[in-house]
Amino acid sequence: MTSRRPVLLYYHPSMEDLAHSISSLCAAAYLDQQQQADAGIAAIANSANTSAVLSTSSSTASGTTGPSPAAAGNNATASLGDDGERRTSSTVTPTKTTVVAPTGLTVVVHPAGMPDSASVSHSASSEDLLSLDPSSSSASASGGASNAAAESAGSSTTGTAETPAPPKPPRRTRHAPDTARESDLARWRLLRVKNGGGIGRSLELRSNLRWGVFEDGFPNLFIDDVKEMYGRDVLFLASFHSPAVIFEQLSAIYAFPRYLARSFTLILPYFPTGTMERVDIEGQVVTAKSLATLLSAIPLTPQGPPQIVIFDIHALQERFYFGDNVIPRLESAIPLLLDRLKLLPDHDLITIAFPDEGAHKRFHTMFENYPTIICTKVRDGNNRIVTIKEGDADGRHVVIVDDLVKTGGTLLQCAKAIKARGATQISFYVTHAVFPLESWKRFVGGDFAYFWFTDSVPTVVEQLVQHKPFELLSLSTAVVNALLSYDLHQY
């Protein structure tokens, strides 16, 4: 049986603001989807009824009482009777109606009895948005209405008209819910919604996970109403911003599948040990692998391996540090920056700079519409300084892009080199603003236009948003888009 109950979203207390933003966006998307569905169904019903009226009116206006060859389809034939009058004999074939709904959906409706139920396309996407199927009782509401009009008209002629075959039962789509929604305007059944602008089910925010602490400092966790989790799709929004909070969250993460969650998705925006992903000197410990191993121990669910959503992990090859019991989904928040850049008055003067070759390899394919600058570190005696390896900054608004910032030294050196090459404005973007020991203060009061960051590290957000040039680009939109891009709305 297919579960259609709301998806449950649990969260760590440090991520409460982001969790509420995600919940609000999902609610808005879900409501928008229902409105689109209702508008599409209404347009289909109105168009089908109008087509039936126009078909009947056209036949009457032309002075004929039988269906025209065009209305009858390819099987229409004409002959002369014994009295010299022209006879029309036809096999009535239902025709399909194309409707442009108010929402911009182009809906091709096949009346009852045709091989395919319906197909829908969107001008900006190749994905199916709606899949509609007429019920067997919908003949009077759509294509059946046209057939009935044709049959009635055909029966009044002196010729013969073959009766169309009875409607075929609706064909189930792959992910059709067991209980279909029905519109009062027409009895078209909504079998599946796969919409890039709306979630197939609502999302229910849950705060009934109690984060207590025993006297010795170890976590004392409790999930209220745990039976509500049975057979449900569960999300957990985590924050590993400090080693002190990782163990308590891992304990909760391991518990969700064991309490019979149907599926489990961990949303971990920031993978904190990502920068320690390789060994440069014998004896170093790759802690990125260690954390990936801990996360790989999440139990399986009835739907299969849990999924782990991570944004802008430091190195893409870290996906292979995870075991086969989990599926890492590596997402990016760069689209948030791209949308923000389009709103700048000097958008045409934007150049993207990368502070090192690693950042260039990681992100350059996402900025193909912008000129780029690559910085590099060179050794000057005992010091390493940043210089421009390639690219032109003269007269440009240069945006320096990286996955994360800690102390900010590399970003500042890169900005200094770019300013020396004639840049008129300098801005920064990082997905993860770590800023230990309040190192963000190095960017306050400088001659910088913007410093964009996301709320993947919740401990610094409240401080940063109070100072220029910092501007928050919330991850909530990126998280919701990531959730919509795969199976949460398909089961």
Reduce the DSSP state of residue 281 to 3 states and report it.
coil
Give the domain 343-474 fold: Rossmann fold (3.40.50)
Dihedral sign, Cα of residue 408, residue 411, residue 416, residue 422: negative
Domains of the chain by residue range: 46-193, 208-333+481-489, 343-474
Q: What is the DSSP string of 63-103?
A: T-SSPPHHHH-TT-EEEE-TTS-EEEEEE-----EEEE-TT
Residue 268 to residue 396: CA distance in whole angstroms = 35
Mean pLDDT along residues 144-159: 44
Tell me which of 347 and 6 has the higher pLDDT.
347
> Using CA atoms, how far apart are residues 30 and 489, in angstroms rounded to an integer?
10
Q: What architecture is domain 208-333+481-489? A: 3-Layer(aba) Sandwich (3.40)
Give the containing element (helix H, strand E) for 10: strand 7-11
Mean pLDDT on 372-379: 89
| Strand 77-80 with 307-311, pairing | unpaired
**For residue 485, what pLDDT band results from cuts at 50, 70 and 90?**
confident
The reported pLDDT for the residue numbered 487 is 53
Query: Which helix or strand (DSSP H or E) is residue 288 part of?
Result: helix 287-295
> Cα angle at 337 between 331 and 343, to 5 degrees?
145
3-class secondary structure for 295-318? HCCCCCECCECCEEEEECCCCHHH
- Reading the block at residue 154, the tokens are 């055909």
More confident residue, 49 or 252: 252
Q: Do domains 208-333+481-489 and 343-474 have the same CATH topology?
A: yes
Evaluate the CA torsion angle 89, 94, 96, 102 in order and state its sign: positive
3-state secondary structure 191-255: EEECECCECCCCEEECCCEEEEECCCCCEEEEECCHHHHCCCEEEEECCCCCHHHHHHHHHHHHH
Residue 157: pLDDT above 50?
no
Q: What pLDDT was estimated at residue 193?
A: 26
pLDDT in tens, 276-328: 999 889 999 999 999 999 999 999 999 999 999 999 999 999 999 999 999 99
Average pLDDT (157-180) is: 43
Q: Beta-carbon neighbour count of residue 3 at 10 Å?
A: 16
Return the pLDDT at 203. 83
**86-121 tens-digit pLDDT:** 444 444 444 443 333 333 333 333 333 333 333 333
Residue position matching structure tokens 């850049």: 341
Which of 64-73, 128-137, 189-198, 313-322 holds the top average pLDDT? 313-322
Tell me the mean pLDDT in the region 444-467. Answer: 95
286: CB partners within 8 A, 6+ apart? 276, 277, 278, 279
Length of the chain: 491
